[in-house]
DNA sequence: CGTCCTCTTGAACTATCTCAACAGTAGTGG
DNA sequence: CCACTACTGTTGAGATAGTTCAAGAGGACG
């Protein structure tokens, strides 16, 4: 049952990018917010690199809880798995552009799969340290710092993910995430803006780092 | 400073295994309990496979807390990193035998590094799900199940690691680990034995699995 | 026999979760 | 244009689970 959907989904992809790309040599896939890239149980036929936007990788537990394993921003790779069947879900968080590479056929441009795997391993280990922090404020501080590191030049940046995404990433509830954000605001560490309070302006980076220690 | 210690440590290894191995072609390293295999900051010159015993991989945070990233049992590989400098510590939990493989020189027996990296990535992702569980009992149940899976044939097995190891692995305190173990005992899911209560006899595997859901 | 270490248990505290209400925004349709 | 709905984020109050601090039990070892 899963496999049929997987193949169907994959074969949809060419049509997908034909609609959005002018040049035939441009292999990028464009996705709207919350669009699915792949789902658990599908055949793993390709790996992806984020050209623009952001992606969430998550799993669903048997009791229906969602655990976000990682967020992938510009330049990051995802979709490389040990088996040939997907163990998780991948969705675009916002409007997103991807490049896909089939893993079964020999790549024209050789891809360093080992490097990608080790980078993702390092990311996963780093995240383990974050969610092992017992304090919610510490976890959120670490998360904000991680997000801020992706925009080193900008004074203000868009997190793009919802409070619910952040909660499922940090192993907290939406309410504690919101409360921790107001604590960061009260401490004058950051300022929130935008329609859904997802625009972050860092006021005191040192204080933020001090929190994560 | 770290590098000097690294090289010194590495050059100690041959002497180490000469003392314990009769045959010169036997490349296995023997370690006593709590002996260090490598430390943060050292040069990463080799990867290891556990032949017997168990290993803990951990990091120390700036405030001195220890976070155990993974336990490696028989057959498992560790020590493969993205950079050429160690980012974590590796220690033998009990009496342990390892095989080491230098990563810089061409291996006589080709090792599938990608497979090792992806296996470790899958392990790290699985652990993320465990420690994202909010209940301490669920986390411990998942841990016990993971340990039990390494001894599918035995009715009773030795966890080997201390309560403190388990606490630092699950992101809990020693006390809650102990309390959760007594809860598992009270629920007649397992029985503990041995001098430090590290021998586990599973009485109700289904109830254990039910807890992890 | 005393010391050390690990594990366990108790009691108080604290942080997070849960349940609930409300505010702001966007989209819909009269 | 204005209700109406839907969704997201915030805040409050009480319940709950884990931490912290403290003490004690049991084994190992000199």
Note the pLDDT of residue B178.
97
Flag if A171 and B131 touch (Cβ within 8 Å).
yes
Contact B82 A129 (CB under 8 A): no
Question: What pLDDT digit, counting tens, does each position of B196-211 carry?
Answer: 999 999 999 999 999 9
Asked whether residue A146 carries a pLDDT value surpassing 70, the answer given is yes
Is B110's Cβ below 8 Å from some Cβ in A? no
Q: For tokens 């949809």, what's the residue? A: A12
For residue B171, which residues of chain A lie inside 8 Å, CB to CB? 131-132, 134
Measured between CB atoms, does A110 come within 8 Å of chain B?
no
| Mean pLDDT along residues B57-76 | 94
* Residue A188: CB atoms within 10 Å: 10
Report pLDDT for A212.
87
Asked if pLDDT for residue B7 goes beyond 90, the answer is no
CATH 1.10.10.10 fits A133-212, yes or no: yes
Is the Cβ of B210 closer than 8 Å to some Cβ of chain A? no
Among partner residues A119, A121, A132, which is closest to B120 by beta-carbon distance? A121
Among the partner residues B59, B62, B128, nearest to A127 by beta-carbon distance: B128
Q: Which is higher by pLDDT, B32 or B107?
A: B32
- Identify all chain A residues contacting B213, using CB atoms and an 8 Å cutoff: 61-63
Could you tell me the pLDDT band of residue B125, with boundaries at 50, 70 and 90?
very high
Q: Which residue has the higher pLDDT, A160 or B21?
A: A160
Which neighbouring-strand residues pair with A72? A55
Is residue B130 predicted with pLDDT exceeding 90?
yes
Partners of residue A134 in chain B, C-beta under 8 Å: 171
Which long-range contacts (C-beta less than 8 Å, at least 24 apart) are formed by B195-201?
B196/B162, B198/B158, B198/B159, B198/B160, B198/B161, B198/B162, B199/B156, B199/B157, B199/B158, B199/B159, B200/B144, B200/B147, B200/B148, B200/B156, B200/B157, B200/B158, B200/B159, B201/B155, B201/B156
If one compares B85 and A18, the residue with the highest pLDDT of the two is B85
Nearest-Cα distance to chain B for A43, in Å, is 17
Q: Which nucleotide is nearest to B161 (CA to C1')?
A: C6
Q: Can you name the CATH fold of B125-212?
A: Arc Repressor Mutant, subunit A (1.10.10)
- Asked if B80 and A113 come within 8 Å (Cβ–Cβ), the reply is no
The pLDDT of residue A155: 85
Distance D17 C1' – A21 CA (angstroms): 53
B2-116, which class in CATH?
mainly beta
How far away is chain A from the Cα of B204, in angstroms, using its nearest Cα? 20
Pick the CATH number of A2-124 from 3.40.50.720, 2.60.120.10, 3.20.20.370, 3.40.1010.10: 2.60.120.10
16-55 in chain B: CB under 8 A from chain A: none
CB B131 within 8 A of CB B62: no
Q: Is the pLDDT of residue B23 over 70?
A: no
Does the distance separating the beta carbons of B121 and A124 come in below 8 Å? yes
The protein footprint on chain C, as nucleotides within 7 A of a CB, is 6-11, 15-20, 25-26
Whole-number Å distance between alpha carbons of A166 and A174: 8
Predicted confidence band at B19 (pLDDT cuts at 50, 70, 90)?
Answer: very low
The mean of the pLDDT values for chain A is 85
In this complex, is the C-beta atom of B107 within 8 Å of any C-beta atom belonging to chain A?
no
**pLDDT band, residue B107 (cuts 50/70/90):** low
- pLDDT mean over A152-167: 93
**Of A11-15, A68-72, B161-165, the least confident:** A11-15
Nearest to A125 among B124, B132, B134 (CB): B124
* Band of pLDDT at residue B163, cut at 50, 70 and 90: very high
Percent of chain B surpassing pLDDT 90:
73
Interface contact A60, partner B, CB < 8 A: no
Encode pLDDT of A79-112 as tens digits. Answer: 999 999 999 999 999 999 999 998 866 555 667 8
pLDDT at site A105: 62
User: Domain segments of chain A: what residues?
Assistant: 2-124, 133-212
pLDDT digits (tens, 9 = 90+) for A199-208: 999 999 999 9
Q: Where are the alpha helices (DSSP H) in chain A?
A: 2-20, 113-132, 136-149, 163-170, 174-186, 205-212
> Distance (Å) from CA B183 to C1' C12?
21
Q: Give the CA-to-C1' distance from B175 to D23 in angstroms.
A: 13
Q: What does the pLDDT read at residue A5? A: 28
What does the pLDDT look like over B45-63, one tens digit per residue?
999 999 999 999 999 998 8
Contacts of A107 in chain B (CB under 8 A): none
Q: What is the pLDDT of residues A15-53, one digit of tens each?
A: 233 222 333 334 799 999 999 999 999 999 999 999 999
Q: Is the pLDDT of residue B154 over 80?
A: yes
Residue of A nearest to B60 (CA): A129
Decide: helix, strand or coil at residue B77: strand
């Amino acid at each position: 049952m899963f496999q049929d959907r997987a193949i169907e989904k994959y074969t949809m992809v060419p049509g997908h990018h034909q609609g959005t790309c002018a040049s035939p040599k441009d292999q990028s896939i464009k996705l709207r917010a919350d669009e699915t890239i792949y789902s658990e149980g599908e055949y793993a036929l390709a790996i992806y690199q984020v050209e623009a936007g952001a992606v969430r990788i998550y799993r669903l537990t048997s009791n229906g809880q969602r655990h976000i394993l990682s967020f992938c921003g510009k330049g990051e790779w995802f979709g490389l798995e040990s088996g040939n069947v997907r163990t998780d879900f991948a969705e675009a968080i916002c409007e997103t552009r991807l490049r896909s590479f089939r893993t079964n056929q020999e790549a024209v441009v050789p891809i360093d799969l080992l490097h990608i795997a080790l980078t993702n391993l390092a990311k996963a280990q780093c995240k383990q340290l974050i969610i092992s922090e017992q304090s919610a404020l510490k976890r959120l501080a670490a998360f904000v710092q991680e997000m801020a590191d992706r925009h080193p030049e900008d004074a203000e940046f868009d997190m793009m993910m919802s409070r619910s995404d952040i909660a499922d990433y940090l192993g907290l509830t939406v309410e504690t995430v919101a409360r921790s954000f107001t604590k960061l605001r009260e401490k004058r560490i950051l300022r929130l803006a935008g329609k859904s309070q997802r625009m972050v302006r860092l006021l005191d980076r040192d204080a933020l780092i001090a929190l994560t220690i």
